[in-house]
């Protein structure tokens, strides 16, 4: 009984009424670690939670016996059999807990205990097949998520509950697999992505533990390898990326070990290197190619870039030229060492880039830049590049020279404005904001914009400025370009050209005006130009002058002036004119060369150049000789006219006196009634009056006719006549008129007929004049020969006498009006000296010529040559019927000078 009691007493008991615990025995406390205070008064549901059997069974549901795991206060699992023992009352129940013998895990598996205690890996023991968590360590708890990461919340719970997302996960599959097959699992880096904290990777071992041939537990070890996996994956990713970078790199890259073997390389390298497959060591390359640095030094295997890297040096953009069988290439090398743990260079990473094209381009650009710079620096235009603020980013040498800026002196538009004042063409001062640089910076373009730069020393330079902004493809202002040019010379040239053009006109005018023209420099007075006329004039003064060319450069005063006085006079006048800033002066000169006088008027004109200085003098000489001669001729003519008037007065007076005195005599006879007595005398008087009236008429006719001819009013009444007959008729008439007066007129002709167009009246007057002269100037022997001879195209009429003749020196004067050789010689005759002048004019209007041949005291011959030619009948004038009376009157008139007749 005692045993029974003891036995009964030893039982672990829990008393309850109406599902509320009313008591527990001490054994219960001993077994579970829970005290009465912790248990009594709790409901059975609460108790199942405290004892962690709630996942397996509810005590109220236990009718008789139930095997399950319960847990002590210290979370130790105890495999028990729960039995329900009825008590007296129906509402009172007693539950007994009986541990299964040898069921404790720690007793069974020390290794497992150890595993848990180590806490190196997560370790857990699950019941089989319910997968109730029986035991685990802190590490394992770390895998579970709140609230199951706390022992009090996870122990006793099934895996379904504690592992988030377990149901239908691949983890569940594994567990089910083990449950079915009993096989162990060792899984590495299992991905579990159902936790709230994200994807995790675990190394897991699942080992079923058999007891007496039956699986009793599942022991799980679990190591979180997420970080490791992630790192590795990251590394793998990076490696992949690196590889793709390496392969896609433009540079060839290779890694070389200490023995110069290439351990890694990318595709690019294999393409870059000549015959890559034929060598393993880097230095093998030198077998087929030659490498030089840019200074031309040969690269040996000892000086290859890789060697430098192994010496611990970094290689940066080392440029080498490779002469290869397939051409010449330029490469740029970069290299870095990779050090081992001990700090020794283990490997070298070299990258190589083909820069052949770049080098070529660089060389071209360098050359072009050089050229461009040389051009920019050497152009005669000044060049400025400006930024968007109108500041200079570049100015060339010419610009600096133009404004006397030294090479190192800084220059800005502001500084420039302090050196010079700027004006536009209208003379308006330009302010800073209107300078070309500012205008271009505002986007303006302009060309041939003229600016006057006035410098501090007062001198002004004129520039022509072109400006344009430069934009990029998006329309942003990149720079402004200003090109300017000093146009002082051009302006001067334009002015000079204008002046030259004026000179040209002047020159031509002078040449056309036939003026003397000389240009000499001033003040050194060297002849620069001389025209033909001036040269001819100078040669008269200086016969030694050879040619126009030889005059150039000679001292103009020396060859122009005849004496020192002239030189001094002209030089001082020139100075005076120039000092008074303008004008010219005139210098008159008369020279006499070989008895011939010439008069010149010289105008000295200083020429002012662009700078308002006189460097040249123009001398224009006007030959006044003819004008002065004409003037003296005029004076002579006026004098002659006076003489003529006196002459005429005298000529008129003589017959008038005679008429007047004869008239007085006749009046006297009339008064004293003695007309009859003096009949004979009165007849003579009447004759005298008549003859003198003829003389009047002849003189007046002659004056009128010569005047008419001179002024072109005397018209010929032409008709076709036989000239032989016309001459013969007048000779015959005169012969009859002078019959018995001791005068013989002999007519001779070699032709009978020659019809020419002539005015018979005028021919008669010609003949009368000549024959009356022949009579007048014959002394004793009065034989007069009149001849007509045929000269084919002309007819020659001659009148010859053997009278007093005419001295040779007067021969060409007798045809002048009122010229008489010797008035005293004409004692028995009168004359006015007008007859021959009229004859000559009449011959000439017939188209003929008159000439005279004479010898003093031997006689004179006048010859008239008339052209042979007729006129048409309808042109013949019909108003000239001359009666014989008229003819006699005419002869009377023409011979009225001769008293003896």
What residues line the site for ligand ADP (CB under 6 A)?
773-774, 776-777, 801, 803-806, 814, 819-821, 831-836, 860
Minimum CB distance to ligand ADP, residue 727 (Å) = 17
Tell me if residue 155 falls in helix, strand or coil: coil
- Copy the structure tokens of residue 332: 């740029």
CB nearer to ligand ADP: give 214 or 710: 710
Nearer to ligand ADP, 681 or 863 (CB): 863
Nearer to ligand ADP, 395 or 821 (CB): 821
Contacts of 673 (CB under 8 A, 6+ apart): none
Within 672-722, residue ranges assigned H as helices are 679-710
With respect to ligand ADP, which residue has the nearer C-beta, 208 or 833?
833
CB distance 14 to 24 below 8 Å: yes
Work out how close the CB of 793 gets to ligand ADP at its nearest, in angstroms, rounded to a whole number: 27
Q: By C-beta, is 493 or 900 nearer to ligand ADP?
A: 900
Give yes or no for a contact between 619 and 604, defined as CB atoms under 8 angstroms apart: yes
CA dist 729 → 724, 763, 788 (Å): 9, 11, 12
Between 721 and 801, CB nearer to ligand ADP: 801
Q: Is 766 exposed, middle or buried (0-12, 13-18, 19+ CB in 10 A)?
A: buried
Shortest gap between Cβ of 645 and ligand ADP (angstroms)?
A: 17
Q: CA 162 to CA 132: how far, in whole Å?
A: 10
CB of 776 to ligand ADP, least distance (A): 6
User: In angstroms, what is the minimal distance from the CB of 794 to ligand ADP?
Assistant: 22
Cβ at position 832, least distance to ligand ADP in Å: 5
Report the alpha-carbon distance of residue 266 to residue 281 in Å, rounded.
15
Rounded Cα–Cα distance for residues 28 and 16 (Å): 14
Give me the helix-helix angle, 760-776 and 723-737, nearest 10°.
40
CB 770, min distance to ligand ADP, A: 8
d(C-alpha 702, C-alpha 689), whole Å = 20
Nearer to ligand ADP, 223 or 773 (CB): 773
Q: Which is nearer to ligand ADP, 31 or 777 (CB)?
A: 777
Q: Which residue has the tokens 């770390």?
A: 142
- Rounded Cα distance between 398 and 481, Å, is 15
When CB distances to ligand ADP are compared, the closest residue is: 831
- Sheet containing strand 262-265, edge to edge, reads 262-265, 252-257, 345-354, 327-339, 315-324, 290-293, 298-299
Least gap, CB of 661 to ligand ADP (angstroms): 23
Give 729 or 826: the residue with its C-beta nearer to ligand ADP.
826
Q: Which residue, 335 or 803, has its beta carbon nearer to ligand ADP? A: 803
The answer for residues whose C-beta is within 8 angstroms of residue 497's C-beta and 6 or more apart is none
The DSSP line for 181-223 is H---EEEEEEEE--STT--EEEEEEEEEEEETTEEEEEEEEEE
Contact 81, 66 (CB under 8 A): yes
Q: Shortest gap between Cβ of 736 and ligand ADP (angstroms)? A: 21
Q: Which is nearer to ligand ADP, 584 or 701 (CB)?
A: 701
In whole angstroms, what is the distance from residue 410 CA to residue 419 CA?
A: 13
Q: Minimum distance between the CB of residue 813 and ligand ADP, rounded to whole angstroms?
A: 8
Question: Which pair of tokens denotes residue 612?
Answer: 């308002």
Among left, alpha and beta (phi > 0; psi -120 to 50; other), residue 208 is beta
- CB 819 to ligand ADP: min, Å: 6
CA end-to-end distance (rounded Å), the chain: 241
599: its two tokens: 């008069």
């Amino acid at each position: 009984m005692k045993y029974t009691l003891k036995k009964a007493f030893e039982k672990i008991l829990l008393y309850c009424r109406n599902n509320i615990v009313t008591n527990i025995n001490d054994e219960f406390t001993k077994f579970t670690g829970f005290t009465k205070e912790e248990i009594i008064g709790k409901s059975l549901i609460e108790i199942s939670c405290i004892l962690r059997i709630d996942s397996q069974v509810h005590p109220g549901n236990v009718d008789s016996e139930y095997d399950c795991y319960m847990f002590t206060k210290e979370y130790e699992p105890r495999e028990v059999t729960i039995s329900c023992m009825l008590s007296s009352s129906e509402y009172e129940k007693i539950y007994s807990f009986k541990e299964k013998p040898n069921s404790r895990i720690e007793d069974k598996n020390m290794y497992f205990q150890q595993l848990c205690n180590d806490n190196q890996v997560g370790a857990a023991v699950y019941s089989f097949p319910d997968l109730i968590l029986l035991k685990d360590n802190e590490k394992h708890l770390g895998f579970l998520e709140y609230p199951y990461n706390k022992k009090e919340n996870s122990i006793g719970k099934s895996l379904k509950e504690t592992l988030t997302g377990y149901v239908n996960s691949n983890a569940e599959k594994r567990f089910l697999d083990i449950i079915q097959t009993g096989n162990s699992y060792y899984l590495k880096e299992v991905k579990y992505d159902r936790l709230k904290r994200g994807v995790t990777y675990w190394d897991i071992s699942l080992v079923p533990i058999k007891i007496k041939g039956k699986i009793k537990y599942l022991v799980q070890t679990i190591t979180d390898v997420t970080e490791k996996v992630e790192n590795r994956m990251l590394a793998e990713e990076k490696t992949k990326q690196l590889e793709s970078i390496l392969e896609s790199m433009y540079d060839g890259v290779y890694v070389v070990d200490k023995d110069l073997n290439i351990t890694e390389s990318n595709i690019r390298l294999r393409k870059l290197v000549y015959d890559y497959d034929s060598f393993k060591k880097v230095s093998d390359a030198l077998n087929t190619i030659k490498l030089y640095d840019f200074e031309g030094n040969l690269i040996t295997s000892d000086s290859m870039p890789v060697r430098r890297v192994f010496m611990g040096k970094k290689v940066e953009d080392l440029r080498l030229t490779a002469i290869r069988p397939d051409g010449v290439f330029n490469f740029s090398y970069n290299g870095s060492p990779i050090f081992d743990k001990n700090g020794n260079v283990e490997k070298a990473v070299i990258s190589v880039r083909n820069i052949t094209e770049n080098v070529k381009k660089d060389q071209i650009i360098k050359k072009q830049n050089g050229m461009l710079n040389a051009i920019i620096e050497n152009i005669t235009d000044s060049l400025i590049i400006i930024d968007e603020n109108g500041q200079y980013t570049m100015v060339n040498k010419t610009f600096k020279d133009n404004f006397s800026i030294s090479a190192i002196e800084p220059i800005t538009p502001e500084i420039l404005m302090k050196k010079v004042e700027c004006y536009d063409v209208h003379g308006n001062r330009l302010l800073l904001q209107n300078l070309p640089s500012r205008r271009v910076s505002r986007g303006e373009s302009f060309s041939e914009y003229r600016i006057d730069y006035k410098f501090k020393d007062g001198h002004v330079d004129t520039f022509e400025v072109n400006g344009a902004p430069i934009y990029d493809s998006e329309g942003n202002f990149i720079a402004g370009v200003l090109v300017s040019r000093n146009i002082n010379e051009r302006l001067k040239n334009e002015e000079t050209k204008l002046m030259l053009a004026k000179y040209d006109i002047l020159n031509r005018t002078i040449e056309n005006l036939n003026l003397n023209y000389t240009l000499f420099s001033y003040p050194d007075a060297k002849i620069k130009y001389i025209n033909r006329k001036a040269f001819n004039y100078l040669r008269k003064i200086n016969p030694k002058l050879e040619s126009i060319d030889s005059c150039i450069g000679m001292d103009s005063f020396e060859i122009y002036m005849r004496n020192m006085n002239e030189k001094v006079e002209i030089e001082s006048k020139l100075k005076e004119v120039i000092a008074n800033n303008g004008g010219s002066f005139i210098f008159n000169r008369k020279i006499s060369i070989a008895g011939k006088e010439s008069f010149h008027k010289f105008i000295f004109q200083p020429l002012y150049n662009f700078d308002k200085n006189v460097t040249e003098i123009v001398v224009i000489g006007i030959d006044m000789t003819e004008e002065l001669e004409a003037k003296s001729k005029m004076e002579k003519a006026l004098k002659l006219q006076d003489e003529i008037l006196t002459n005429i007065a005298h000529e008129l007076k003589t017959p008038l006196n005679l008429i007047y005195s004869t008239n007085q005599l006749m009046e006297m006879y009339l008064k004293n009634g003695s007309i009859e007595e003096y009949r004979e005398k009165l007849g003579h008087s009447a004759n005298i009056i008549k003859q003198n009236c003829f003389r009047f008429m002849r003189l007046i006719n002659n004056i009128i006719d010569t005047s008419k001819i001179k002024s072109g009013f005397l018209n010929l009444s032409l008709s076709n006549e036989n000239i032989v007959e016309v001459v013969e008729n007048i000779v015959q008439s005169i012969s009859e008129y002078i019959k018995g007066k001791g005068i013989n007129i002999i007519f001779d002709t070699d032709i009978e007929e020659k019809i020419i167009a002539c005015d018979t009246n005028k021919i008669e007057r010609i003949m009368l004049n000549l024959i009356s002269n022949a009579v007048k100037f014959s002394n004793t022997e009065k034989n007069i020969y009149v001849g007509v001879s045929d000269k084919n195209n002309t007819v020659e009429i001659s009148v010859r006498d053997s009278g007093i003749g005419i001295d040779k020196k007067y021969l060409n004067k007798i045809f002048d009006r009122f010229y008489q050789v010797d008035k005293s010689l004409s004692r028995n005759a009168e004359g006015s000296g007008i007859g021959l002048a009229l004859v000559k004019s009449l011959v000439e209007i017939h188209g003929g010529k008159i000439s005279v041949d004479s010898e003093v005291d031997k006689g004179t011959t006048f010859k008239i040559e008339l052209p042979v030619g007729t006129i048409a009948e309808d042109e013949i004038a019909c108003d000239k019927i001359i009666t014989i009376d008229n003819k006699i009157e005419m002869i009377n008139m023409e011979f009225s000078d001769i008293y003896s007749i």
